[in-house]
A and B are shown apart, each in its own frame.
Chain A
Amino acid sequence: MTSEAEVPAVDVQKIHKVGEYKHGSPLLTCRFDPSGQFVFASAEDFSIQRWNLNDGKVTPLVGHESWVWTLAFHPSGSTLYSSGYDGRLIYWDATAEAPQPQHTIEAHDGWARSVAVSPDGNLVATVGNDHLVKLWNAVDGSLVDVLEGHTCHVYNVAFHPTLPLLVSGDLKGVVRLWDLASGEELRQFDAAPLWKYDGGFRADIGGIRSISFSADGKYLACGGITEVSNAFAGIGTPLVLVFNFETGEKVQSLMAKKKFRGKATGVFFHADQFVAGSTSGHDGGHLLVWKLDQKEEFFDFKFPDSIRAMDRHADGVRLATADPGGNVLLWKMAAKAE
């Protein structure tokens, strides 16, 4: 493992690999902790692996009985929340020498597809195949509220960064806005282009595969797959829809210049005024970077393999990708150190 200690200015077009960790099972997702000391990744062997970025030490977290699809952290970095296809939500002491489950909650009937933590650190939200959004006390794991309204599997959830609001997005591209105080649904965002019922395959494909607010809460981005021509082969192109949060209007449809076959995941707004997302599919893994006022990306970087997840470090410069070969790769969006 190699690393570069200093934090240089962001220059996304100079992205280069700075580290690599290997696990013996294909990886599913990855997250940096808020302190930036660790990177965590979940694997097809049901485990979560924690790597210390300083010394490369790896620690397994074992407690789920199925794939862990999403990881989230308390803003303090003290607690890791994991949601899995066993329907469980597990609270972990993220920094312990050998983390053990602190609370194991049977959160959803069917898969628990996503977990998010409120900016004030008081609430945890989960969504799942039971069409429900659930709110939990972030400390003791007690159920706070159940938000009903989705009519299909709920894929993703995110808290607004400055207001007591929550968004949840489902398979059919319906994004619902919830008032945390009342539990009422306030509005919907139409992300229908991210869903299709394939009449030939006779199945639904798509969903809100990635969701993210800008830091000021003015924009909401939803990523996924569109223009699907063959569901069972995953032949479609990545799309990120950006909404004006206040008006609910769609302000941009971010796509790729080339006809990539894949879906958009790992979408985030960067402080340097760009939106980044990863795509993965038949054409391998890519990092695509857009300006909000341009439909097509201004930068495309091809990763060495398909990827399954991407996350950004708290320093705003580093990225982590998790891939089906069992690798977590660390990247710097900056010029190489002299």
Chain B
Amino acid sequence: MKCHYACQSEEHLLARRSFLGTLAGAACGASLGLPRLVQAAMPELAGKQKHILVFFLAGGVSQLESWDPKPGTDTGGPFRAIPTSVPGTHISELLPHTAKQMHHLSIVRSINTKENDHGKGRYCMTTGRRQDPVADYPHLGAVGAKMLSPEALPLPGHIHISPGGSGGSGSDASFLGPRYASISLGNGKPPQNTELPEGMSEVADRKRNAFRSIVNGHFARRRRTADTDAFTSSFEQAQQLMTQRDVFDVAKEPQADLDRYGDSEFGRHCLLARRLLEHGVSCVQVNHSNYDTHYENFDFHIEQLGEFDRPFATLVADLVDRGMWNDTLLVVMAEFGRTPKINKRFGRDHWGKAWSVALGGCGIQPSAVIGKTNANGTEVADREVDHGHLFHTYLRAVGVDPAHKFDAGGRPIPVADPAAAAIEELLA
């Protein structure tokens, strides 16, 4: 679907043009370099901007081994439930560090998406809508990048941190356009192609960009369109990104913090998420893999949640301690949960019928438990919700009107599915 920009106001364009012009001037030799300019803007951004931080536990984490344990039942498996910092709320013993942070978090235990397919489940949970052959909807991160990012942000507004892979950009912004698509940091490395090509000196690079600016300016004076603006904007953003590579270097964090997050890939990714949020990135998704445990579910959940627990809990505590919690919506989601029934190979299979997410921070009531499942977790017993309700809730939590309409090729599309509504009792 071709990209159309909903906000085409003159004020908007001017503000953006003005900032980009400033950056270009700085890049062309003014004494205030880009990093300093960006740093100067940071405190203001950090103080007011809302952020979304998603933990996507790919493959489908088991709700019974995490947020909704059922020990001692026919579906409960071998793990025990442990008390948390919220009196009366228990979670799996696999999350002892997270248990100590539960007073900052809430749980929704009554999700029924009726979806057991990986791709469709992921789509539901990240867009708030079912996949539709004739329409495509933007990812929560793309919506957040558009609605929450300040124009001055020199970094991408929507970043995914993934284990492995080489990175690249996603195609998850739909009609919002590639500007809001996710930039993937494969294995936590900086975005691809943000280093000067081999043999290209900084001087030569500055000269060619200056030449490009002149030519662009000349062209724009007579034939300027939204498309040429978007092209120029992308180029400028890429240029700015190249000067910001250090933002993606988690090794710049203090050793004490590296130690607290632990010597694991996921630990480094959590610390990188903190770093990106602190530098103003609106939406960060940390992918943790993999929970698709059709075989030996319990052994694998020991390993995966064993890796997840401490860095995740450390990040929650850090966001609170650094005064970022009230401006950051955190959601731990997956494409679905796992079957209560334990299969013959000690696995659990796909299960969208009765499962959980955890969330907290910006706009979310802390310490809440919304809904419940029956005694052995096979059905939602109270306050059934689905991906649509959750999506509305996320938007409301960060101050975005779910009824706001995007212009998708001339069609007004509400940000969230109008058939659903927010979980009011979960909102702060």
Genuine A/B complex: yes
| Chain A residues at the B interface, C-beta cutoff of 8 Å | 25-26, 44-46, 65-67, 85-86, 110-111, 129, 153, 199-205, 231-234, 280-282, 305-306, 308, 324
CB neighbours (8 Å) of A281 from chain B are 345
For B303, the chain A residues whose CB sits under 8 A away are: 203-204
Q: Once the chains bind, are B78 and A85 in contact (CB under 8 Å)?
A: yes
Q: Flag if B80 contacts A203 (CB, 8 Å).
A: no
Tell me if B342 and A44 are in contact (CB < 8 A).
Answer: yes
Chain B 262-294 against A: per-residue CB contact (8 Å), 1 yes, 0 no? 000000000000000000000000000110111
B295 touches A231 (CB 8 A): yes
- On whether the beta carbons of B164 and A199 are closer than 8 Å, the reply is yes
- 9 A–B contacts from the bound complex (CB under 8 Å): A44-B74, A66-B78, A203-B300, A203-B303, A231-B295, A232-B292, A234-B347, A282-B345, A306-B345
Across the interface, name the chain B residue whose C-beta is closest to A46: B72
Q: In the bound complex, what is the Cα–Cα distance between A65 and B302 (angstroms)?
A: 18
The residue of chain A having its C-beta at the shortest distance from the C-beta of B72 within the complex is A46
Q: Does chain A have a CB within 8 A of B239?
A: no
The number of residues on chain B lying at the interface, defined by a beta carbon within 8 Å of a beta carbon of chain A, is 26
- Closest residue of chain B to A25 (Cβ to Cβ) is B74
Instruction: Report the minimal beta-carbon distance from A67 to chain B, rounded to whole angstroms.
Output: 4
A110 vs B93: C-alpha distance when bound (angstroms): 10
**Which residue from B72, B304, B345 sits with its C-beta under 8 Å from A203?**
B304
What's the count of A-B pairs with C-beta under 8 Å?
66
Q: Does B296 contact A (CB under 8 A)?
A: yes
Nearest CB of B to A114, in Å: 14
Contacting pair A232 B290 (CB below 8 A): yes
- CB nearest to B294 among chain A residues: A233
Contacts of A231 in B (CB 8 A): 295, 300
Instruction: Determine the residue in chain A with the shortest Cβ distance to B289.
Output: A202
In the complex, chain B residues whose CB is within 8 Å of the CB of A86: 78, 80
A residues near B300, Cβ cutoff 8 Å: 201, 203, 231-232
Point out residues on B near A: beta carbons under 8 Å. Answer: 59, 72, 74, 77-80, 163-164, 289-290, 292-296, 298, 300, 302-304, 342-345, 347
Specify the chain B residue showing the minimal Cβ separation from A228. Answer: B295
Asked if A201 meets B294 with Cβ closer than 8 Å, knowing A65-B80, A281-B345, A324-B344, the reply is no
Give the complex CA separation of A232 and B294 in angstroms.
6
How far, in angstroms, from A203 to B295 measured CA to CA in the complex? Answer: 12
Question: In the bound complex, do residue A232 and residue B293 qualify as a contact, i.e. CB atoms below 8 Å apart?
Answer: yes
Docked CA distance A44–B376 (Å): 14
Instruction: Let me know if A202 and B296 touch, CB within 8 A.
Output: no
The 3 closest A-B pairs by CB, nearest first: A234-B295, A85-B78, A67-B78
Cα-based distance from A93 to B302 in the complex (angstroms)? 33
* B75 nearest in chain A by CB position: A44
Instruction: Kindly state the separation between the CA atoms of A86 and B300 in the bound complex, as whole angstroms.
Output: 17
- Is the pair B294, A202 in contact by a Cβ cutoff of 8 Å? no
CB neighbours of A305 from chain B (8 A):
344
Q: Are B302 and A129 in contact (CB under 8 A)?
A: yes
Chain A nearest CB from B314 CB (Å) reads 20
B209: min CB distance to chain A, Å: 39
Chain B residues whose C-beta falls within 8 Å of the C-beta of A85 in the assembled complex: 78-79, 298
**B266 — nearest CB in chain A belongs to which residue?**
A202
Closest chain B residue, CB of each to CB of A232: B292
Residues of B within 8 A of A201 (CB): 289-290, 292, 300
A86 to B72, CA, bound (A): 12
CB distance from B277 to the nearest CB of A (A): 24
Report which of A110, A153, A234, A324 forms a contact with B294, defined as CB distance below 8 A. A234
**Which chain B residue lies CB-closest to A67?**
B78
B80:A202 contact, CB within 8 angstroms:
no
B347 nearest in chain A by CB position: A234
Q: How far is the CA of A40 from the CA of B133 in the complex (A)?
A: 56
* A46: chain B residues within 8 A (beta carbon): 72
Between A199, A233, A308, the greatest number of chain B beta carbons within 10 A of the residue's beta carbon is seen for A233
Q: A66-B79, A202-B289 are in contact. List 19 more A-B contacts (CB 8 A).
A: A44-B74, A44-B77, A85-B78, A86-B80, A153-B302, A199-B164, A200-B290, A201-B289, A202-B164, A202-B290, A231-B300, A232-B59, A232-B292, A232-B293, A232-B295, A233-B294, A234-B295, A280-B345, A305-B344
Chain A nearest CB from B79 CB (Å) reads 7
| Max chain A C-beta neighbours (<10 A), residue from B78, B294, B296 | B78
- Expressed in whole angstroms, the Cα–Cα distance for A272 and B5 within the complex equals 80
A200 to B345, CA, bound (A): 20
Kindly identify which residue among B59, B163, B342 contacts A26, using a CB–CB cutoff of 8 Å: B342
Residues of A within 8 Å of B298, CB to CB, are: 85
Contact B295 A202 (CB under 8 A): no
Residues of A within 8 A of B72 (CB): 46
Which residue among B72, B163, B289, B344 has the maximum number of chain A CB atoms within 10 Å of its CB?
Answer: B344
CA distance A67 to B78 in the complex (A): 5
CA distance A120 to B185 in the complex (A): 59
